[in-house]
Amino acid sequence: MDLCQIHVDRCKGCELCVEFCPKHALEMSEGRNAAGYHPAVLAHPDLCNGCALCAEMCPETGIEIYRRQKRARQDATDQG
């Protein structure tokens, strides 16, 4: 699963997420969504580090961000 989940049908194509992505992982799609906009898509999932700047700038709250849990620290707290 990608760290950045874009709800394509909420997108209005304002391109703010593309502009503010520091890793340039997002691009505008050639296709259209249900409302007729060109939605943003995560074109390079391998570049995304889940910094959430795109989600912060999205006026539609159309982006969810997931991050990997730190396994080592979790294990340490479990043990003691």
Residues that bind another protein (CB under 8 A): 1-3, 9-10, 12-16, 19-20, 37, 45-46, 50, 52-53, 55-61, 63-69, 71
Nearest to 32 by CA among 13, 15, 53, 51: 13
User: Is there a contact between 6 and 14 (Cβ–Cβ < 8 Å)?
Assistant: no
Q: Nearer Cβ to another protein, position 23 or 56?
A: 56
Closest approach, Cβ 26 to another protein, in A, equals 13
Shortest distance (Å) from residue 79 CB to another protein = 19
